[in-house]
Amino acid sequence: MARKAFKLPDIGEGVVEGEIVTWHVEVGSPVSEDDAIVDVMTDKSTVTIPSPYSGTIVALNGEVGDMVAVGAVLVEFESTGESGPEPEASPEPVEAEPSKEVMPEAPKLEEKEEESRSPQPTKPAVTPTATAPRAANSTVLASPAVRRRARETGIDLSMVVGSGRGGRIQQSDLDAALATSSSSPSAPRSVKRVGTREMKVVGLRRKIAEQMVISTSSIPHFSYFEEVDVTALEELRQLLNSERVEGQPKLTYLPFIMLALSKAFERHKKCNAVFDDESGVVTEHDAVNLGIATQTDRGLYVPVVKHVEAMDVWQAATEMQRVTGSARDGTATLDDLSGSTFTITSLGRDGGLGATPIINHPEVGILGVHKARDMPVARSGSIVIRRIMNLSSSWDHRIVDGADGAALVQDLKKMLENPALIFM
């Protein structure tokens, strides 16, 4: 067997270093050629680096969160088979997921957890789906999202047989494992919980943290809230959904809100803008490029629907579905994740009553959309049931005065309550 060193390859696009996000192997792990060994995040994307050899891992040069320069030794192997010359070029990394993100609410952590030394209460065992456990020296193949969920639910991945390629454990395998354990008794409520966990802030979570610090420390936010009667809009939405043809997506409220915003920005141009702090220049945009905050199992992304001003409601819904879907499945391109001029954040059915969304720097405003609900309201001296939705907005007070932000929201409210105005 020959000992070989593998260097971080040139990922391209001028990248000179990357942050180690997830190791898929450990010292002593056997690997085959093209097996995933590490995820590395750059300023542009996160890539999965495959193994160039078959053999055994003997050294990992770096921990999660460390920055590694292109060309630096990343992994050392004891390779199997005959020793041959080193490859002239490192294997091509596989793009795993885009990395641009920002946004208000905090996404879930996906980083590797380190258990503290405090004693842990006994957790009920989860019955594995496997018929037999893995050998002690075998490698557990699973994505970071699967590993995180396994930690949260107490599943020992070494006891689960994966149904994916090469035995990779998938979410469906965890579902099956949890289903078989549903009859297990829960821990007594009287048991004290004294455990702690330390989670290093790396990768996407670190990027989001940095962006939030920039936004909240450099932008003087003010927020404005409004209640909107969307009864007529709901009737229109239901009608259009009943008439949609094959290939057209089911309409939610968001495509209507997107179109209404694009019309409102014609009258409130300073609200569709970005502000360069260093140069002191505000750029107002005629194009309406709306970022849609999207929660994924890797964190919060903001894919962009571009040129909403040129779309009808079906086109807006289709493109929104495309970019948010690509963000969730990790196929979004850099173009899909850049160029926004204003951002919408919505939690759908979990939208609550109000929030103070954080502006997507360097934009000057953000709109929070909350769930619509039937409410008793007073109309012409009588109590009637109407469909009510709350809107929350935040604005950069250096650029948008209180009256300006309020005027845009009131304009938006008028169109949503009288949806014919959206299409006039």
CATH number at residue 379: 3.30.559.10
Is residue 360 assigned to a domain? Answer: yes
Is residue 233 assigned to a domain? Answer: yes
Residue 107 pLDDT level (bands cut at 50, 70, 90): very low
Residue 84 pLDDT level (bands cut at 50, 70, 90): very low
Model pLDDT for residues 109-130, shown as the tens digit of each residue: 334 344 444 444 444 444 444 4
Is residue 251 assigned to a domain? Answer: yes
Share of the chain above pLDDT 90, in %: 46
Is residue 196 assigned to a domain? Answer: no
Share of the chain above pLDDT 70, in %: 81
pLDDT(3) > 90: no
Print the domain residue range for 147.
123-184
168 and 217 in a single domain? The answer is no
Residue 81 pLDDT level (bands cut at 50, 70, 90): low
Q: Rounded to 5, what percent of the chain is helix, strand, coil?
A: 30, 30, 45
Given the residues 221, 285, 307, 397, the one annotated as active site: 397
Residue 383 pLDDT level (bands cut at 50, 70, 90): very high
Residue 105 pLDDT level (bands cut at 50, 70, 90): very low
Q: Does the predicted TM-score (pTM) go above 0.85?
A: no
Q: Which residue has the higher pLDDT, 179 or 381?
A: 381
Q: Which residue has the higher pLDDT, 144 or 189?
A: 144
Q: What's the pLDDT at 1?
A: 64
pLDDT(159) > 50: yes
Residue 87 pLDDT level (bands cut at 50, 70, 90): very low
Q: Which residue has the higher pLDDT, 114 or 389?
A: 389
Report the distance separating Cα 248 and Cα 366, nearest Å.
28
Which regions of 348-416 does DSSP assign to beta strands (E)? 365-369, 373-379, 382-396
Kindly report the average pLDDT of the chain as a whole number: 83
Residue 14 pLDDT level (bands cut at 50, 70, 90): low
pLDDT(281) > 90: yes
291 and 338 in a single domain? The answer is yes
- Asked if 361 is an active-site residue, the reply is no
pLDDT(88) > 60: no
User: What's the whole-number mean pLDDT along residues 44-63?
Assistant: 85
pLDDT(11) > 50: yes
345 and 231 in a single domain? The answer is yes
Tell which phi-psi region holds residue 112, choosing left (phi > 0), alpha (psi between -120 and 50) or beta: beta
Q: What's the pLDDT at 185?
A: 54
Q: Which residue has the higher pLDDT, 195 or 285?
A: 285
User: What's the whole-number mean pLDDT along residues 22-29?
Assistant: 89
pLDDT(230) > 90: yes
pLDDT(101) > 50: no
173 and 298 in a single domain? The answer is no
Q: What's the pLDDT at 188?
A: 54
Alpha helix (H) ranges present in 181-277? Answer: 203-218, 231-243, 253-267
pLDDT(2) > 70: yes
Q: Which residue has the higher pLDDT, 143 or 85?
A: 143
216 and 285 in a single domain? The answer is yes
Check residue 290 and report its DSSP letter. Answer: E
Model pLDDT for residues 242-263, shown as the tens digit of each residue: 999 998 999 999 999 999 999 9
pLDDT(186) > 60: no
Is residue 349 assigned to a domain? Answer: yes
Is residue 201 assigned to a domain? Answer: no
154 and 253 in a single domain? The answer is no
Single residue among 82, 98, 114 that ends a domain in this structure? 98
Tally of domains within the chain: 3
Is residue 118 a contact partner of residue 317, using CB atoms and an 8 Å limit?
Answer: no
CATH number at residue 76: 2.40.50.100
Is residue 191 assigned to a domain? Answer: no
User: What's the whole-number mean pLDDT along residues 39-46?
Assistant: 75
pLDDT(407) > 50: yes
Least confident of 143-157, 177-191, 373-387, 409-423: 177-191
- CB neighbours of 165 closer than 8 A, spacing ≥ 6? none
240 and 94 in a single domain? The answer is no
411 and 276 in a single domain? The answer is yes
Is residue 198 assigned to a domain? Answer: no
Is residue 204 a contact partner of residue 42, using CB atoms and an 8 Å limit?
Answer: no
pLDDT(77) > 50: yes
Q: Which residue has the higher pLDDT, 43 or 399?
A: 399
Angstrom distances, CA of residue 283 to CA of 46, 287, 292, 347, 387: 30, 11, 20, 29, 37
User: What's the whole-number mean pLDDT along residues 131-160?
Assistant: 72
284 and 417 in a single domain? The answer is yes
74 and 137 in a single domain? The answer is no
CATH number at residue 138: 4.10.320.10
pLDDT(92) > 60: no
- Asked if 397 is an active-site residue, the reply is yes
Model pLDDT for residues 325-339, shown as the tens digit of each residue: 999 988 888 899 999
128 and 268 in a single domain? The answer is no
168 and 312 in a single domain? The answer is no
List phi, psi (to 5°) of 24: -95, -5
Pairing of strands 290-292, 30-31: unpaired
Q: What's the pLDDT at 205?
A: 82
pLDDT(104) > 70: no
Given the residues 286, 312, 329, 401, the one annotated as active site: 401
